[in-house]
Structure 1
Amino acid sequence: MRRACRVSIGYPEARRAKIRRMSCEAEYFSKGFDWEELRAEIEANPSFRYHLLPYEPSSFAREAEADVDAWEQFHTRHSSGKFFKERRYLVKEFPELLSCGENAVLEVGCGNGSTALPILRANKDAIVYACDCSSKSLNRAQEVIGSATIGSFEDRFHTFCCDVCTNGFPPWLACNSCRNKFLQKQSNCVSESKEGNEPCFTNTCSREGYDGCIGGVDFITLIFTLSAVPLERMSRSINECFAVLKPGGMVFFRDYGLYDMTMLRFEQAKRVGFREYKRSDGTRSYFFCLDTVRDLFVGAGFTELELDYCCVKSLNRQQGKSMRRVWVHGKFKKPTLV
């Protein structure tokens, strides 16, 4: 159980409020409950049994364009940005982001910029490349970060449209020289075309294994992104991350965990796979166990540094209900010698 936040007596109210926030933030991501106890409870409850049953996939092929369209519509509905909260906890969970200097950070599935913004705030030297399959979300991310008081962001925040699980990353991302050219010619071309056109700077970048490239990004953040990818395309996404990451670089991962409250709310008719669900708006969500995450990253060549369930118990004050949230926290490194 989380301890109550303690506040010293005698401090001015503003100071007490700051201490309270810092104390709560430090404890927010501690173990609020034991995941194994939750698992035993859920698996013994007959009303949740359908979540555990094997799932026979449908005979029709999944259309990647349908997933992209669903997210375009999602970001159109939530264009105000009020739906999202700035993920300030990331720099506490992944302190490497604070000391990465002028290294390049790639944010995969950036949404409205709620992950990139705290990185840019906390590290005045970091350069963030942000991609998303939704052009609407990229426009919103530019607006959000452009209106933030974080100094000259124009030289440190760069967006490009990319559906990594379908088309892969553009080759220039793995090459320092080609990334510089991208910054100079960003308005001309930002990713590979769905019609099969050649990617930018293909004369200097080799698509096959990026053999002709020198460099790559230093860090990659996958924050509540992989769960939106169909399970059969997740491996390609992780392999692409491995390809554009420098040797010694790291991936920071956080996503929905098995038996999270939101998973248990899905009706049986919303299942589209084992531990995979589709919302009424067409967007999908997968709920990870540790073994699935480990297999995906280790199978791509990564070394596991950290991997655990993040179990948080919070209170819905309006309804007076206790909510148990489960996320998977992971940190993976590309070996120095590959």
Structure 2
Amino acid sequence: MDDDYLNREKLAKEILEKDKNTIPEFWKGKYKREAQKNWNLFYKRNTTNFFKDRHWTDREFVELIENKENGEKTILLEIGCGVGNFVWPLLDKNPNLFIHACDFSEKAVELVKENEKYDTDRCSAFVCDLTKDDLVENIEPNSVDLVSAIFVFSALPPEKMQLAVSNILKILKPGGKILFRDYGIYDAAQLRFKPGQKLQESLYVRQDGTLAYYFTIEEISNLFVNYGGFKQLESRYVIKQTTNVKRDLNVERVFLQAKFELPLNHQ
């Protein structure tokens, strides 16, 4: 690590250590219970105008555009699909891809189905709570080649993340892969939270009531490797310098990108 990185990490630690207080237990429980409601309100308010289409995903995860040698379709599950910003660019790029797209916001799924590109021969969208049995009620067990988890686990309370992994395991084929990208510790967004927005270590609530968790590599490895039984293929921090034009401020976004494979002998 270079000196600049170490200095930034030291400064970030100092900022986070100052915020020692967490919100009262009543509000912690309320925000966690109402996560689905708050995401639904988010999409009702913003519709398709908030997130941009994710044209970068196939550059980071080549599996999304690779085709099987036997010509069969690749089956992908996109968890936390939102309004389809991940789905539509991929369907355009890979005609041999079928996507199951799920989100626990009814409004988000409604907007996916209303999109002119929505074609049930290429895509199936449904409402799903990853921490319940909703996946196996909509997808055949052991039928999915790839699962994309792009900025979705950070929206879950930490104590429910293992439930989500357990449910993903039910529908993923042996040899299937998890493609993961989410918020990393010391991300600029984490450092901007004000006192009174911290629920617990690394977990915060935004002004709209949605949750945001900031991961370390060790936490993700523990979740998928030690608990889920996956083989880790890749795990790294991705650091992006961005500019806030209105405030004339350069900030450092930190994401965690990883790839995991389910062993062929997994039972």
Q: Same fold (TM over 0.5)?
A: yes
Distance in 2, matches of 1:70 and 1:109, equals 14
Structure 2: how far apart are the matches of 1:34 and 1:288?
Answer: 21
* TM-fit CA distance, 1:279: 1.4
Q: Describe the superposition over 1:90-137 as per-residue Cα deviations: whole angstroms up to 9, x where unpaired.
A: 010000110145111000010010111121111011000011111100
Structure 2 unaligned runs (5+)? none
For 2:238, the aligned partner's letter is C
What is the aligned counterpart of 1:106 among 77, 84, 87? 77
Equivalent residue, structure 2, for 1:138 = 109
Q: Contact 1:242 / 1:301 at 8 angstroms: preserved in 2? A: no
- CA drift of 1:62 comes to 2.9
Give a deviation string over 1:176-234, Cα, whole Å, max 9, x none.
Answer: xxxxxxxxxxxxxxxxxxxxxxxxxxxxxxxxxxxxxxx41000000000000001001
Higher strand fraction: Structure 1 or Structure 2? 2
Do structure 1's residue 246 and structure 2's residue 212 form an aligned pair?
no
Once the 2 structures are TM-superposed, how far is the Cα of residue 282 of structure 1 from its aligned partner?
1.2
- Structure 1 residues 159 and 294: alpha-carbon distance in aligned structure 2, compared to 1, 3 A threshold: same
Higher Rg: 1
Alignment-derived partner of residue 336 in structure 1: 264
Q: Which secondary structure state, in structure 1, belongs to the residue aligned with residue 251 of structure 2?
A: strand
Q: SS of the residue aligned with 1:323? A: strand
2:10 alignment partner, one of 37, 40, 46: 40
Show structure 1 runs of 5+ residues with no match: 1-30, 176-214
Distance 2:88 2:238 in 1: 23
| 1:318 matched residue in structure 2 | 246
% same residue: 30
How far is 1:281 from its partner?
Answer: 1.6
C-alpha distance in 2 between matches for 1:282 and 1:141: 23
Q: Which runs of 4+ in 1 moved over 6 A?
A: none
Tell me the CA shift for residue 59 of structure 1.
6.5
Q: How many correspondences in the alignment?
A: 259
State which of 19, 42, 51 in structure 2 corresponds to 1:74: 42
CA distance in 1, matches of 2:140, 2:22: 38
Q: CA RMSD in A?
A: 2.3
SS of the residue corresponding to residue 39 of structure 1 reads helix
CA distance in 2, matches of 1:54, 1:247: 43
Tell me the residue number matched to 2:136: 170
Aligned residue runs from structure 1 range 227-306, under 5 A: 227-298=154-225, 299-306=227-234
Q: Report the CA distance shift for 1:167/1:269 in structure 2 as closer, same or farther (over 3 A).
A: farther
CA contact (8 A) 1:91 1:118 kept: no
